[in-house]
Amino acid sequence: MRFLQIDQITLLEPGKRIEAIKKLSGDEDYLKDHFPRFAVMPGVLMLESLYQASALLVRASDEYQTGLVLLRTAKNVKFADFVQPGQTLSITSEIVKREENRFVMKASGRKEDSLAVSGRLVVECVQTDAASAVDQHASLYMRQLTEQLQQAAMACS
């Protein structure tokens, strides 16, 4: 995840759900252009936040096996409110259904008391060469990233 859209993981229940947050500081590079006089988090990045949380949940649920977690479908995505600098997007994703390597996730992002984005995501774990050094590194990276994001939440509480 090169452009991380999650700052903290506040709850992680492998096989069930994840809760995470993204604090929009105002220093994000994309806010300079989106929009100069009314800076808001782009909808596609709100959706990316939902996907990233979902991917971390799937990895934790599979004990960080090797492979890729791909977004296959984003269904019924609704954008209901803007997220502006100084606000926090609270992300929740839960596993609704699992069929082998395919997961149906119900995900949403809220700011304060209002829904900002919601939808159903279908993600799939695509197995790769488990012996590959790249795959082993990616698996380790996802585990370490999850731990860092959980520690960030503990440091703030």
How many Cα atoms within 13 Å fall on the side-chain side of residue 102?
A: 5
**Interstrand relation of 68-79 and 88-99 (parallel, antiparallel or unpaired):** unpaired
Q: Among residues 17, 34, 102, 120, which one is catalytic? A: 34
SS3 of 135, please? helix
Q: Could you tell me if 91 and 50 are in contact, meaning their C-beta atoms sit under 8 angstroms apart?
A: yes
Distance between CA atoms of 58 and 88, rounded to whole angstroms? 23
The answer to whether residue 34 is catalytic is yes
Stated length of the chain: 157
Residues with catalytic roles: 34
